[in-house]
A and B are shown apart, each in its own frame.
Chain A
Amino acid sequence: MQKKKTIGLVVAQPPIYTETFLMSKIQNLIDDGFEVVIFSNLNRANNTQAPLYSSYTELSIFKLMYNIPYIVFKIIQNFKAISKYKKYINTQYSSTVSKYKNIYSNLHILFNPVDHLHFEFSVLAVDKEYVAKSMGAKMTVSFRGYDVSISILKNKGLFNTVWQNIDGVHTISNDLVKRALKHGMNPNTPVAKITPAINLSNFKPANVVWGNVLHITTTGRVSWKKGFQYVFAALAILKKQDINFQYHIIGGFEEPEKEEFLFLVQHHQLQNDITFHDKMNREQLNEILDQTHIYIQYSVQEGFCNAAIEAQAKGLLTIVSDAGGLPENVENDKSGWVVPKRNSVALANKIVEVYMMSNEKKKEFSENAMIHVSRNFDIRKQQDLFREFFNQAS
């Protein structure tokens, strides 16, 4: 019998139940015949069927003492990989202390050899660039959003060693690849674009009734990345045009930015027109989406955006910005509308245009949106693509 391929998934922390994407990804890989292990920096409860190995840096002194015989045994057992690893990082670290610190922080991975080491975020691969190579495994990373869009700007050259060592990339959008290439990724690196996807059976078409009040909704935490400052300015323009609307924002605040956005609401005199909701469960969210006429995702930075897929899946009239992966998410003038980012006037004009559309036209867009999602963002298709990704890369 052929030996099962082992995939090591490096995550920031073990997935919790609400992280459906990662939970189902792990389960699907197991179902597809892979052996999956999870490597995490933090030691938390493991809700998956895959074994979890967390970093020894998490151990208290007492636990460490207790574990010393085991660690020594494992070092002897994996001596070849560890000494290889030490050789690889020799040039990376000038001080001996930081070199050994790095080895210690990666022991949990080096002790458990895999065929394929996959980092769920690129930033997780930093300081672990040679781990896969030392144990003869393939190394791949996922591009999601923040790491390739922002971390890379804060620390130029952060991913240089990662770029040199990866055997493949999973990206959720072409935009992220473009950014990575701009910052030094080897153009010959194999890239697989696998977008986020949804379970279509969870999304029933919204039964929207149009009345005197235009109901607009956005889901997502209130932060600068989501472009709310531009949405509020656009709404101020609508208000001047005497359009009666109610805007619902679902997801709560990014705490440091709360002051800014509450102030902007007052600045644009929208206190009676905007409602901030905390995070909601699926049922409560559907209740609001079922009354939504226009869904807006006017981000300035976005990986791909599940919320925009979900809105289209419910047949909502969806307006997004052209930031990040959003133009790959919404098919402009077909499944929704893509408006230039950071342009409140253009957004306001588009909202008015959609609002004034005939009912037939609205219906046409609504149906297109649902078809678009079922064709392109079905979770079953995503599962096939992931299987292919791990098979090819391994």
Chain B
Amino acid sequence: MRISIFANEIPSTVFIENMVKGLAERGHNIFLYGKCIQNPHYEDYKNINIISEPNSKISKVYFALKYCFKLLVINPKLLFHIYKLSKDKKKHRWMRKFNMYITLYHWNLDIIHIQWAKSISWLEALIKDGRINTVLSLRGTHINVTPLSDPKTKINFEVLFPSIKGFHSVSYAMIDEAKKYDMSLPNRSVVAYPAITPTTYNLFTKEYTKTEQFNIISIGRDHWIKGYTYALDALRILVDEGVPAYYTIVASGTLPDQLLFQIEDLDLYKYVNIINGLPHTEVLKAVSKADVLLMSSIEEGVPNVVLEAMAVGTPVVSTDCRGIPEIIDDGITGYITQACFPDSIASDLKKVYIQSADEREQMILKAREKLTKNHLLEIQLDNIEKLYLNVINNWK
């Protein structure tokens, strides 16, 4: 199949990159268009094709002219069609859309897989046109949060979802949420859970030495959705109860005023370490060294970091947000705690703290067992391929 993975930036997040490489390894021709932010290291993949989105005004014009001439020779009718589709009242939008569309159309694709729901407004005309099959991933905040405060996004979803040929959802709960924009959406959806690579799964070692310090770790950008406020409140509760807790947050960007103030206000300097970003391999190392991974988000789809912690043998305490009950059986493969309630978070973290070595080992084994059923990369790719075939065969 000729598939475009449309994710705005190249390379994209770890889980999208795993999917790109996985599909390429299965022999599909992958086409990527977006802003190249760093070297994606696709040297070993001959069937991954990249076109970098032009940045400056001059390069945009040059890019457009180059492809115009190319298409003028091969398919002038298509060129005129693209010109009509990409028309926009705002000049800068028109230029960006034209370059985007001309690239995507000239690739002669079977599927465009849009990774982020918020970006569908850019592809509005292409989706409605229907010449190329479009698939959209339903992920976390883009579906659950953004439409609440951004009426334009909500309208876009209502207008465009019915024209999208297939949906990849990260959980059944997400399909439930998204169907309010298009009632028939569940019939065109396939759940492909986020997954971990064999390399991550094999990082697991049985060795575990409990130290005097109870090391809690959270991974994720500094954003309110991550619920760090509640996590820090929970930390204060643990410290007050005499638990020798130490909390590491691997985030990125500047620490927001809210957290900065909270750490000072609750006198938590001694108990918190905030790390401004780490490479993925380092993140995995840090997670495997911690006593527990805390996923304190108020809302998430199915966060990869939870799967990764389960894979490397670190017990997880996660809030009860949408997709989590589909991965964690409370008390068996991890603990599910109540989002927005620090007492509940602290009490579940304490459960891990007082776990015996046997109980911990059992939880880790069960968690890894669960991963092998639904969350290995091969299973995810099978489901994604199934979705693409369904779309191409028009869900027969």
Contact = CB atoms under 8 A, between A and B. Distances in A.
A158 interface: no
A88 interface: no
B298 interface: yes
B298 A264 contact: yes
Contacts of A233: 340-341
Contact of A263 (B148, B229, B233): B148
Given A259-B145, A264-B298, A300-B265, A154 B257 contact: yes
Interface in B217-273: 224-225, 229, 233, 257-258, 260-262, 264-266
Contacts of B261: 149-150, 153, 300-301
B149 A150 contact: no
A300 B257 CA distance: 12
Contacts of A274: none
Nearest to B321: A267
B219 to A, nearest CB: 20
A318 to B, nearest CB: 22
Interface in B116-153: 144-146, 148-150
B190 to A, nearest CB: 27
Given A233-B341, A259-B146, A267 B298 contact: yes
Q: Give chain B's interface secondary structure class.
A: helix
A253 to B, nearest CB: 9
Interface string A73-87: 000000000000000
Given A150-B257, A263-B145, A300 B299 contact: no
A224 interface: yes
Nearest to A257: B224
A334 interface: no
A383 to B, nearest CB: 32
A323 B264 CA distance: 13
A224 B258 contact: yes
Given A263-B299, A344-B341, A301 B265 contact: yes
Contacts of A232: 340
Contacts of A154: 257, 260
A262 B340 contact: no
Interface in B262-306: 262, 264-266, 298-299
B343 interface: yes
Interface residues of A, number: 25
Contacts of B265: 300-301, 323
B342 A342 contact: yes
Given A224-B258, A342-B342, A344-B341, A262 B264 contact: no
Contacts of B146: 259
A217 interface: no
Nearest to A224: B258
Interface string A163-207: 000000000000000000000000000000000000000000000
Contacts of A150: 257, 260-261
Interface in A226-254: 229, 232-233, 236
A229 to B, nearest CB: 7
Interface string A339-354: 0001011000000000
A300 B266 CA distance: 11
Contacts of B32: none
Nearest to B232: A342
A268 B149 contact: no
A153 B148 CA distance: 33
Contacts of B224: 257, 259-260
Contacts of A301: 261, 265
Contacts of A345: 341, 343
A196 B258 CA distance: 25
Nearest to B230: A229
B339 interface: yes
A268 B338 CA distance: 11
A94 interface: no
B376 to A, nearest CB: 31
A361 B224 CA distance: 40
A259 B149 contact: yes
B264 A153 contact: yes
A281 interface: no
B121 to A, nearest CB: 17
A323 B339 CA distance: 23
B145 to A, nearest CB: 5
A257 B341 CA distance: 20
A116 to B, nearest CB: 32
B381 to A, nearest CB: 32
A224 B258 CA distance: 7
A236 B340 CA distance: 11
A300 B343 CA distance: 17
Q: Which of A259, A262, A323 is most buried by chain B, counting CB atoms within 10 A of its CB? A: A259
Given A153-B261, A300-B262, A342-B233, A263 B298 contact: yes
A258 interface: yes
A229 B229 CA distance: 10
A266 interface: yes
Interface in B308-362: 339-343
Q: Which 6 pairs show the lowest CB-CB distances between chains A and B?
A: A259-B149, A260-B224, A224-B258, A262-B148, A153-B260, A233-B340
12 contacts: A150-B257, A150-B261, A153-B260, A153-B261, A224-B257, A236-B340, A257-B224, A262-B149, A263-B144, A267-B299, A300-B265, A345-B341
Interface of B: 144-146, 148-150, 224-225, 229, 233, 257-258, 260-262, 264-266, 298-299, 339-343
Interface of A: 149-150, 153-154, 224, 229, 232-233, 236, 257-260, 262-264, 266-268, 300-301, 323, 342, 344-345
Given A258-B149, A260-B225, 10 more contacts: A154-B260, A224-B257, A229-B340, A232-B340, A257-B224, A262-B148, A262-B149, A263-B149, A263-B298, A301-B261
